Amino acid sequence: MKKVLIVYWSSSGNTETMAKSVAKGVTDGGGEAILKTPEAGLAELVKSADALAFGSPAMGDELIEEDEMEPFIASLGADILKDKPLGLFGSYDWGDGQWMRSWTDRMKGLGAKLDGEGIIAQLVPGEAELAKCSELGKRLAT
Ligand SMILES: Cc1cc2nc3c(=O)[nH]c(=O)nc-3n(C[C@H](O)[C@H](O)[C@H](O)COP(=O)(O)O)c2cc1C
């Protein structure tokens, strides 16, 4: 059974809703979903996971959330991410998704095997976006 680690940050719940859909997709796909918010000691879980999914809303000025998500992401080097299947997702509001393009490029630069270009939802994710999250979870679980 594939172990899929989902790490997300969410303030008003939009990215959290997406994270839960990814987790449901993992479970539906026969995998084990581990849902976490950024915290110390996740490095071992990241290493041992078969696949990863990370979620953050656009914050600051087209950045991932800076106080918790950014330090977590910055702690992951190419040694951990190289060839690891990874999906990104998150909610935004007034931008054009630049934060997700930058984040995707950054993770690709570390050698992660990106699944798609990142799933984005403007504010509250709709059915179509949640279906994409669930499909991502299924792919990561198989
Ligand atoms: C401090 C702050 C900064 C934000 N910066 C951006 C931004 O740069 N671009 C954007 O599209 N949305 C931005 N947003 C909007 C959030 O990404 C949006 O409200 C999102 O739905 C929050 O997701 P959450 O419910 O998972 O916390 C910002 C919101 C806050 C509170």
Q: Which mutation among 10, 93, 124 tests ligand 1's pocket best, with the greatest number of atoms within 8 A of CB?
A: 93
Contacts of 90 (CB under 8 A, 6+ apart): 8, 15, 18, 55, 56, 57, 58, 64, 99, 100, 118, 119, 120, 121
Domain residue ranges of the chain, discontinuous segments joined by + = 3-141
Query: In tens digits, what is the pLDDT along the chain, a chain of 142 residues?
Result: 999 999 999 999 999 999 999 999 999 999 999 999 999 889 899 999 999 999 999 999 999 999 999 999 999 999 999 999 999 999 999 999 999 999 999 999 999 999 999 999 999 999 999 999 999 999 999 9
The CATH number of the structural domain formed by 3-141 is 3.40.50.360
Distance of CA 47 to the CA centre of its chain: 15
Which residue is closest in CA terms to ligand 1's atom 31?
59
How many other C-beta atoms lie within 10 A of the C-beta of residue 48?
10
Ligand 1 is surrounded, with C-beta below 6 A, by 10-16, 57-62, 91-95, 123
pLDDT of amino acid 41: 85
pLDDT of amino acid 40: 83
Burial state string for 76-106 with b = 16 or more CB within 10 A and e = fewer than 16? beeebbeebbbbbbbbbeeeebebbeebbee
Using the structure block, give the residue that is written with the tokens 């996971």.
Answer: 49
